[in-house]
Amino acid sequence: MSDQIILLVEDSPDDVDLTMRALEKNNISNRIVVCPDGAVALDYLHGRGPDGVHYDNPLPQVVLLDLKLPKVDGLEVLKKVRAHKRTSLLPIVVLTSSKEEKDMVESYSLGANSYVRKPVSFEEFLEAVRQLGLYWLLLNQAPPLPDDE
Amino acid sequence: MAAKSRRRPGRARRNGAETARPAKTAKPRSPQREYADIFTHNPIPMWIFDLGSLRILAVNAAALRHYGYGEREFLGMTIKDIRSEEDAASLEHYMATARDTLNSAGLWRHRRKDGSTIDVEITSHTLHWRGHQARLVSANDITERLQAEARIRELNATLESQVRERTQQLESVNRELEAFSYSVSHDLRAPLRVIDGFSQALMEDYAGRLEGSGSKYLTRIRATTQRMGVLIDDLLTLARVSRRNVRRGDVDVSALAAEVVKELSEKEPAREVVTGIQSGMRAHADGGLVKIVLDNLIGNAWKFTSRTPAARIEVSTERYDGVIAFCVRDNGAGFDTQYTHKLFGAFQRLHAESEFTGTGIGLATVARVAALHGGRAWAEGETGKGAVFRFTLEEGRPDE
């Protein structure tokens, strides 16, 4: 299980640290790849390196996606990920501060698999991360990897 | 009464004599004269002109008055002379085509002797008159009416543009409000999470090195942070309620109330509260908004009975002003009646934070929801004797 990757798309270093801490506290020892903005996340997922070099990055078991991101925001990432053959079925959990109905509706209609609002209380956040780990890393059957293009 | 007071006292005495006296009339007028009077004394300006030469053959007193000519002068003119210059061309075209016996010839512009122009509505018909093939014209001056109409059109246009302008302003304010609550939702909560998270980390990782008050301070930081989180959420709910369009449907209020009670007792299973929810309560309202109201009112009752032994909460209906009012009644802390007017204002709190927690936004939200439905929310209470909060979801009909 722990060779599976979790892709964390999050621009705030504070939030990255707290999420890492929450994963650690829940004994989730998977490799975490952190992308500080939407553009980096898309490059990782679609194997694009600088100068057009193609990298064969392993696909994550699940993507934890913040919505408010510099350069390419979370909704745009969702749209592009779903449009791309390699990642069209990739499990994506939107993990955001926003309680806006609009964000929720748009996330789901763009193909998010889940929408979780980050609670203010760290204890509640710990619990949310625990359940997310349990569900997406253990319980959920990930879709098969697409054939190589 | 009015007729009596109008009667002059001097004439009252001669009243009978007056009607008895024979009318002092001259010799009877001939029927021809009487018909001629219909033309001569008609209040509408009229004239007759020869269809060939267009010369005026006869004119009545109203026309002379209105156009400002003497009779002799008018009879020396043709109808071209009273046309405004812009109408002259269309007159010739009209004369060439309109030979029917009766028509309502429409709107024309005429010129008076003093040079001023008037708008007239012409009705005319053809007749034989003293050996002439002629036309009888009546000219109804509608200048003032047209001016009034133009003014109304102008006012309407101004009003419309004002409404458009205001709507645009309102829309832009709404957009700003939306952007504001969006950024509140995102940006204000994020730092709170970080403060809470790292405070927790400090407590866990450095517990051994924090002296007694050190960890107490951290606990207080965390409690305050979470309270601010609740405050932001409540503010967002209030903002969302305010800009929401009411979507009415059939709402099972009893079921919603039971759901709220269930959520509350799941959160605090140790609390013992007797609840009574009237069955079959329904409303034609926005279910999502009614849920918010019940969350607040039952949540308040729950909170303010926390120090009451044998706590009791009842949800029922009563009739007020001809419509159904929903009531949430508790036997909790109540409130000081002299502050009743402050209850429904945002950020108004009647209890110290140390007694009962709260943000002071809940009842403002309740009042907003009731108002959005055309109803209202009000309260009764007494310190130590509990409180009753009532709300309606439609406009009152006090006469029924």
Model confidence, pTM: 0.56
**Which residue in B186, B200, B226 is closest to A97 by CB distance?**
B186
* pLDDT the model gives residue B114: 92
In order of A99, B49, B125, B126, B133, the CA distances from B129 in angstroms are: 89, 9, 12, 9, 7
Let me know: does A121 contact B196? Beta carbons within 8 Å.
yes
Span B171-212, pLDDT tens digits:
888 778 777 777 776 778 888 889 999 999 998 888 888 887
Q: Which two tokens mark A39?
A: 């553009």
* pLDDT the model gives residue B341: 78
pLDDT over 70 at A50, yes or no: no
Let me know: does A74 contact A94? Beta carbons within 8 Å.
yes
Question: Residue B387, exposed/middle/buried by CB under 10 A (0-12, 13-18, 19+)?
Answer: buried
Span B274-315, pLDDT tens digits:
999 999 999 999 998 999 999 999 999 999 999 888 999 999
* pLDDT the model gives residue B98: 58
Adjacent-strand bridge partners of B276: B314
What is the chain B residue with the closest CA to A13? B194
Residues of chain B with pLDDT under 70: 1-27, 88-89, 92-105, 185, 346-347, 353-355, 357, 400
Name residue, tokens 């849920």: B291
**Phi, psi for B290 (deg, rounded to 5):** -65, -35
* H-run or E-run covering A9: strand A5-9
Half-sphere exposure of B87 (CA within 13 A, CB side): 19
In one-letter notation, the amino acid at residue A39 is: A
Residue A124 in contact with partner chain B when CB distance is under 8 A: no
**Which residue in A12, A97, A122 is closest to B200 by CB distance?**
A122
Span B314-338, pLDDT tens digits:
999 999 888 999 999 999 888 887 7
**Which residue in B186, B193, B229 is closest to A68 by CB distance?**
B186
Q: Which two tokens mark B156?
A: 């309407």
Mean of the per-residue pLDDT values of chain A: 88
* pLDDT the model gives residue A52: 66
Are B186 and A96 an interchain contact pair (Cβ–Cβ within 8 Å)?
yes
**Alpha-carbon gap, residue B64 to B72, rounded angstroms:** 10
* pLDDT the model gives residue B25: 58
Are A122 and B186 an interchain contact pair (Cβ–Cβ within 8 Å)?
no
Are A120 and B229 an interchain contact pair (Cβ–Cβ within 8 Å)?
yes
- Show the DSSP H helices in chain B as ranges: 2-6, 9-13, 15-20, 31-40, 61-67, 71-75, 85-97, 143-183, 189-205, 212-242, 253-267, 287-304, 362-372
* pLDDT the model gives residue B11: 44
* pLDDT the model gives residue B2: 42
Let me know: does A18 contact A63? Beta carbons within 8 Å.
no
Strands B117-129 and B132-141 turn out to be antiparallel
Q: Which two tokens mark B293?
A: 């109201």
